[in-house]
């Protein structure tokens, strides 16, 4: 790998800011571009408009820039086939092909694939009309999980507590009023009890290397109450999984997925995200994503050492600090519904002066300075010698930041404290 790499990061959120931030610390990287990026990413990269959102728009930009490697942040371009387009032109890119990206692009495909590959997951059925959905509900107790088949920006999963709630949600999903065409088919799934873990691996089509385990917080309110979001915060702590469980997940989930995808003619390359429920019967897959998680990437990147570009190129293994890290998401007024935009943001410099790193997501530059422009606005991320210290540092930084209508959870990382009781 040459020591003057030009890298393009595709995306504009907190995940992409964290990726660009980590790449900026790599000795092998000379220039980072981001498309389209955001004001935070602009601190470490040159932000450019791709001129559109199709694979060809990104391909043309990468060709014009002469980049050595492209890293895809969000899922939509992967599902649209951006990796296929780049590879057809002989350009290096991190991510799965369109065929492999179906693991995230279609919940129905993912469930059928897991059945073929023998990967542990929840019992489920697929429906495409309200009448069949109501009939199938009888085979499941409550709560029951309802999942839109297509991409829904983290908002396509509903946990219904009763029959009435389930029928209302099914009507909203299948009619298109909740998540549009993504809900034209719905997976009805048994509710699994346990603790969730985000398990991300970097794959080359044959093999996989695990990143550090993280735990996301999807519900909008403390105590896992309220509707699901794209993620209100995450923490990264090696104590989430011991070595034995890590290898069990690799042996029963990750490697079988890689092996089966290869056998079916769609080798998986890039980041494979397994959202797991740690049940009494062992780990079971709730969902697959085909890219780094958001906000999981933020605390993961904070702990990464060494040259991330070399890791992406398959020329080095990831290395980590021992300190846990915590990311608290500050969301805009109205989120996870229709977020309000245009509220002025202040206090980021003061937050970072205390040792936190503030990753920007839904931000833009307005006439009065930095302002909100999306649902999840900032990811305030901090390390600590212990998880308790990381939590305290992150929330101390949050206290410096202000924008009208800001809301956040106060319990990010709290579930992990029991592992530090000894």
Please report the pLDDT score of residue 1 as a whole number: 57
Please report the pLDDT score of residue 297 as a whole number: 98
Chain-centroid distance of CA 410 in Å reads 20
Domain boundaries, the chain: 7-95, 129-184, 195-417
pTM of the model: 0.95
Residue 390 dihedral angles phi and psi, to the nearest 5° = -65, -45
What angle is formed at CA 318 by the lines to CA 317 and CA 319, rounded to 5 degrees? 115
Please report the pLDDT score of residue 407 as a whole number: 98
Domain spanning 195-417: CATH superfamily: ATP-grasp fold, B domain (3.30.470.20)
Cβ atoms 205, 257 nearer than 8 A:
no
Can you tell me the distance from the alpha carbon of 415 to that of 96, in angstroms, rounded to the nearest whole number? 32
Please report the pLDDT score of residue 152 as a whole number: 82
Please report the pLDDT score of residue 209 as a whole number: 97
- Omega prior to 36 cis, within 30 of 0: yes
Can you tell me the distance from the alpha carbon of 20 to that of 185, in angstroms, rounded to the nearest whole number? 36
Q: 114 Cβ partners below 8 Å, 6+ apart?
A: 120, 121, 285
Using alpha carbons, select from 220, 219, 214 the residue that is nearest to residue 234: 214
Domain spanning 129-184: CATH superfamily: ATP-grasp fold, A domain (3.30.1490.20)
Can you tell me the distance from the alpha carbon of 130 to that of 108, in angstroms, rounded to the nearest whole number? 17
Mark the ranges of the chain whose per-residue pLDDT is less than 50: none
End-to-end CA distance of the chain: 44
Using alpha carbons, select from 326, 333, 343, 332 the residue that is nearest to residue 394: 326
Q: What is the 3-class SS of the chain, one letter each residue?
A: CCCCEEEEEEECCHHHHHHHHHHCCCCCEEEEEEEECCCCHHHCCEECCCCCCCHHHHHHHHHHHCCCEEEECCHHHHHHCHHHHHHHCCCCEECCCCCCCHHHHCHHHHHHHHHHHCCCECCEEEECCHHHHHHHHCCCCCCEEEEECCCCCCCCEEEECCHHHHHHHHHHHHHCCCCHHHHCCEEEEECCCCEEEEEEEEEECCCEEECCCEEECCEEEHHHEEEECCCCEEEECHHHCCHHHHHHHHHHHHHHHHHHHHHCCCCCEEEEEEEEEEECCEEEEEEEECCCCCCCHHHHHHHEECCHHHHHCCCCCCEECCCCEEEEEEECCCCCCCCCCCCECECHHHHHHCCCEEEECCEEEECCEEEECCCEEEEEEEECCCHHHHHHHHHHHHCCCECCCCECCCCCCHHHHHHHCC
Can you tell me the distance from the alpha carbon of 114 to that of 104, in angstroms, rounded to the nearest whole number? 12
Using alpha carbons, select from 153, 155, 154 the residue that is nearest to residue 169: 155
Please report the pLDDT score of residue 2 as a whole number: 62
Lookup: tokens for 268: 């998986």
Q: For the segment 247-296, what is each residue's pLDDT rounded down to a tens digit? A: 999 999 999 999 999 999 999 999 999 999 999 999 999 999 999 999 99
Pick the CATH number of 7-95 from 3.40.50.300, 3.40.470.10, 3.40.50.20, 3.20.20.60: 3.40.50.20
Please report the pLDDT score of residue 35 as a whole number: 98
Please report the pLDDT score of residue 351 as a whole number: 98
What angle is formed at CA 212 by the lines to CA 283 and CA 235, rounded to 5 degrees? 90
Can you tell me the distance from the alpha carbon of 266 to that of 96, in angstroms, rounded to the nearest whole number? 9
């Amino acid at each position: 790998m040459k020591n003057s790499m030009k890298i393009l990061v595709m995306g504009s959120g907190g995940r992409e800011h964290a990726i660009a931030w980590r790449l900026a610390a790599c000795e092998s990287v000379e220039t980072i571009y981001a498309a389209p990026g955001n004001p935070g990413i602009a601190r470490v990269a040159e932000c450019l408009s791709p001129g559109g959102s199709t694979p060809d728009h990104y391909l043309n930009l990468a060709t014009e820039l002469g980049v050595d490697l492209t890293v895809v942040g969000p899922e939509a371009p992967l599902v649209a086939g951006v990796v296929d387009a780049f590879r057809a032109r002989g350009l290096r890119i991190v991510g799965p092909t369109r065929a492999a990206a179906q693991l995230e692009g279609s919940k129905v495909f993912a469930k059928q694939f897991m059945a073929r590959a023998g990967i542990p997951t929840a019992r489920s059925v697929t429906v495409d009309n309200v009448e069949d959905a109501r009939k199938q509900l009888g085979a499941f107790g409550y709560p029951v999980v309802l999942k839109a088949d297509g991409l829904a920006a983290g908002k396509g999963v509903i946990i219904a507590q009763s029959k009435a709630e389930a029928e209302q949600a099914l009507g909203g999903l299948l009619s298109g009023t909740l998540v549009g065409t993504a809900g034209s088919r719905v997976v009805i799934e048994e509710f699994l009890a346990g603790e969730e873990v985000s398990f991300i691996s970097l794959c080359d089509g044959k093999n996989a290397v695990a990143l550090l385990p993280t735990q996301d917080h999807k519900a909008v309110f403390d105590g896992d109450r309220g509707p699901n979001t794209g993620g209100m915060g995450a923490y990264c702590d090696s104590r989430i999984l011991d070595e034995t469980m890590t290898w069990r997940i690799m042996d029963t989930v990750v490697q079988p997925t890689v092996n089966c995808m290869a056998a079916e003619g769609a080798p998986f390359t890039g980041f494979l995200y397994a959202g797991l429920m740690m049940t009494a019967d062992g780990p079971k897959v709730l969902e697959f994503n085909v890219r780094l998680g958001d906000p999981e990437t933020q605390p993961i990147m904070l702990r990464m050492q060494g040259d991330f570009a070399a890791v992406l190129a398959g020329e080095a293994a990831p290395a980590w600090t021992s300190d846990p890290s915590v990311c608290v998401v500050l969301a805009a007024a109205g989120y996870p519904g229709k977020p309000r935009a245009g509220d002025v943001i202040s206090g980021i410099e003061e937050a970072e002066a205390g040792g936190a790193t503030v990753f920007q997501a839904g931000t833009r530059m307005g006439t009065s300075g930095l302002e909100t422009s999306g649902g999840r606005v900032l990811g305030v991320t901090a390390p600590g010698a212990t998880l308790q210290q990381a939590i305290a540092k992150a929330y101390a930084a949050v206290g410096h930041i202000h924008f009208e209508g800001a809301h956040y959870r106060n319990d990010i990382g709290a579930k992990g404290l029991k592992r530090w009781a000894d």
